[in-house]
Amino acid sequence: MWCLKWRRFNEEAARNDYNLSPSRYVAPKSEEEVLPVEVALARLREAEEERMEVDNRLYEVLQSLGL
């Protein structure tokens, strides 16, 4: 079974001058979710706040270890 699939792929690759670029064989997503700018900025702010909290916790742990 895999032999037949390989043969079909090889024939298709030959028709495409052996261009094995993934973009040639993988269809792009037809519909991408596009966020409104306000929503994207809100998510970015939330991620930054979370990162700052984690950085602070890491700093405290490192201090307690004497580093």
- Which pLDDT score, from 0 to 100, does residue 3 have? 63
Domain ranges of the chain: 1-27
Asked whether the predicted pLDDT for residue 4 surpasses 80, the reply is no
Q: Mean of the pLDDT values across residues 10-18? A: 74
More confident residue, 66 or 16: 66
The full 3-state SS of 15-28, as one line of letters, equals HCCCCCCHHHHCCC
pTM as predicted: 0.48
Asked whether the predicted pLDDT for residue 25 surpasses 70, the reply is no
Q: Mean of the pLDDT values across residues 22-35? A: 73
- Exposure string of 22-52, with b = 16+ CB inside 10 Å and e = fewer, is eeeeeeeeeeeeeeeeeeeeeeeeeeeeeee
